[in-house]
Amino acid sequence: MDTYAVYRQADTYDHIDYVIEQYRLLHNTTVGNHEYEKNGTGYTSLQLCQSYYRNGTIYPGNETFEIDADVQNGINLQTVRHRELPDCYDFTVLILFDNEAHSGRIKIDLDTDVQIKECRDWKVTGATERNLTLTVLFDCLIILTCITSFCLCLRSVLTGIRLHKEYNQYCKSYALREVPWSDKMEFVNGWYILIIVSDTLTIVGSILKIEIQTKVLTSYDVCSIFLGTGTMFVWIGVVRYLGYFRKYNILILTLRAAFPNVIRFICCAGIIYISYCFCGWIVLGPYHEKFRSLNTVSECLFSLINGDDMFPTFKNMGHKSNLPLHHHHHRHYDTIKQRQNGVPTSDLQKFLAECNDLPNSGLYRLEEDRSCFMNCRIDPRQWFRNRQEPLVSDA
């Protein structure tokens, strides 16, 4: 779909006359309660700013021109709209007739800006703020819940980091070796970090939502970004609970194994995507409206990837590539093959398996000068020595 534009002088004048006429008949045409902005004792008049060349002389014969431009453009219309409750808005409407190219085609663009203003001298009869109060209380309950979840998850993460430091120091003292990175990550639960980020975004978004409802702020975009991203992370965290089911666990393990490779692929594909964006912007920008700006180029290429504009092309293709399907099956086969005899155990898990003391045996004492590893009935030096000594046969 191309941009809206006019091509004749008569159409240009008709559009301007239409805007002026609709501004004059505002009270008779709109179903909402609109009013002109009042400046003192009088109303703010409609402003028509024309962008033109103060001195423009063109010589088509020798392809020369002289231009002395004086640029001021815009049509401003500010209104106030009232709802059931005293919500007042200022609308700044800008209608731009763009004839910078002088190609016989005047593009028309409409831009609006909305700001919430404090209503003055208003009287409301029969209205109540009960719904607003209940909504604010519900938002406060969400904030308290997120704060509680944030504190609990943060405590768990800090506890895991403290245990990691103790285990790392323990291995350096008795085994004289570094702890593998895979064992280090066992102490940090990534789901807890995701919940912490989600709770932080939800708390900030809920506070902004309360401020917007009480007419203190108007940052709708910022509030929607925080709440939307926080909600997305919450639903991603639901995937964690699918791992408790036997049939879904293999899917979770496959996603976990493929995640690093997927991130590398996204980085490489993103670089190629950006290169196509710049190429399309530079090469096709002067010839097509979809490639006129870098933002529209990115949107156009994204629609091409999804097949929105290229569906007939893909439909007429006689064959499909089996490479993605083969890669998908190979990833599942490799994960299942590695885990057909059970989940591989790491050095940390083997170390913990040597401890036969039950949690209720009383040997797990919470003392500041002793860690849980010291309370376990295992000689760590003998355990690591047995791990390093080769097996000797009696024969």
* pTM for the model: 0.51
Write out pLDDT tens, residues 58-77.
Answer: 554 444 445 554 443 333 33
Average pLDDT of the residues of the chain? 72
- For residues 252 and 237, what is the distance between their CA atoms, to the nearest angstrom? 12
Element (H, E) at 78: strand 74-81
pLDDT at position 248 over 50:
yes
Give the range among 2-6, 121-125, 337-341 with minimum mean pLDDT.
121-125
Q: Give the per-residue pLDDT at 135.
A: 83
Give the range among 12-16, 118-122, 159-163, 207-211 with minimum mean pLDDT.
118-122
pLDDT at position 391 over 60:
no
pLDDT at position 368 over 70:
no
- For residues 95 and 269, what is the distance between their CA atoms, to the nearest angstrom? 39
pLDDT at position 181 over 90:
no
pLDDT at position 373 over 70:
no
Q: Give the per-residue pLDDT at 237.
A: 86
- For residues 143 and 149, what is the distance between their CA atoms, to the nearest angstrom? 10
Give the range among 23-27, 250-254, 274-278, 300-304 with minimum mean pLDDT.
300-304
Q: Give the per-residue pLDDT at 392.
A: 46
The residues near 103 (Cβ < 8 Å, ≥ 6 apart) are none
Element (H, E) at 52: strand 52-59
Q: Is the dihedral of CA 53, 56, 60, 65 positive or negative?
A: negative
**Mean pLDDT, residues 93-105:** 80
Q: Give the per-residue pLDDT at 324.
A: 43
The residues near 299 (Cβ < 8 Å, ≥ 6 apart) are 290
Q: At what angle do helices 220-242 and 246-284 cross, to 10 degrees?
A: 140
Domains of the chain, by residue range, sit at: 5-117, 132-242, 248-316, 354-387
Residue with tokens 């990175």: 181
Q: Is the dihedral of CA 185, 188, 193, 195 positive or negative?
A: positive
Q: Give the per-residue pLDDT at 49.
A: 75
Task: State the first-to-last Cα distance of the chain, in angstroms, to the nearest integer.
Answer: 85
- Beta-bridge mates of residue 88: 117
pLDDT at position 148 over 90:
yes
Percentage, residues of the chain above pLDDT 70: 64
pLDDT at position 9 over 60:
yes
Write out pLDDT tens, residues 306-322.
Answer: 666 554 444 444 444 44
